[in-house]
Amino acid sequence: MHLINYKKGMNKYFNIKRFANLVKRELHSNMKRNLLIIGAMFSIFTISAFLVFELGEEITSEITFEKFHSMVFLGMLFTGGAFLASFSFIELRNKINAHFYLLTPGSSLEKLLVNLLISLVGFIVFMMLFYFLYSQVFNWIVSAIFGYQFSNVDFLHEEVISSIQVFISVHSIFLLGAISFKKYPVILTPIFIFLVNITLFGFVRLVGFAVFGDFDIDNQLFSKEIFDKLNLYSKIIIIYIIPPVLWFVTYLKLNEKEL
């Protein structure tokens, strides 16, 4: 009896059939838009890169040849991810569409997981596979025309992995912004983050001045050991704390709209 009640309770929050139907619905509704965003991003970069190679100064730096594709990949990952995350829950920004979206069979948890699966996990995997193929064609053409030999992306490189971890945190911020702002979340979210950072920075400086006065806190207090600890704590907060916390807040806001 208890097992039956437990299964019913779990079925209320997550059901694999409902989840699969939500994934199909999301892909059918938004796949074209997502591909247009990604296509536009690659097109703009390709045109810009060839114009720079043709009109700019000759590239001679070994670091540029080595890290070119890694930096471009990460730039596209963050840019495209911000747009895709900001378009999540787009139906809720229109009263009529919101009505049908909220009536769609599926719990708030399932709808959140669907957006995470498509705009986060799916996007990362897609970008890795597609950018690898794109970079091979790009390198072949650039080598034939301009004689440049760029290194391939090493997705297992420590810097790339760390950047992807940071991207997950950034994505969680834009996902929360998507359900928090009814208009222009891709613009309002970074503005809001900037204002929060400025406020926090000013508050910390004000507290530091009140406690230490004219004492040079940056040079005197932040020794290498303290700086290393702060760097470690920052990584823990950014990578392991911010994403799940913001996902939970997003779930609460989505659940609030369901009620």
Checking if the pLDDT of 2 tops 80, the result is: no
DSSP H or E stretch at residue 146: helix 123-146
Neighbours of 40 (CB within 10 A): 12
Checking if the pLDDT of 129 tops 90, the result is: yes
CA distances from 103 to 29, 97, 99, 256 (A): 16, 10, 6, 14
Confidence of residue 209 (pLDDT cuts 50, 70, 90): low
**Percentage of residues in the chain having pLDDT higher than 70:** 88
Checking if the pLDDT of 109 tops 80, the result is: yes
Confidence of residue 203 (pLDDT cuts 50, 70, 90): confident
Confidence of residue 50 (pLDDT cuts 50, 70, 90): very high
CA distances from 96 to 93, 99, 103, 163, 179 (A): 9, 5, 11, 39, 16
On average, the pLDDT of the chain sits at 87
Checking if the pLDDT of 86 tops 70, the result is: yes
**Percentage of residues in the chain having pLDDT higher than 90:** 60
Q: Which residue has 């619905």 as its token pair?
A: 25
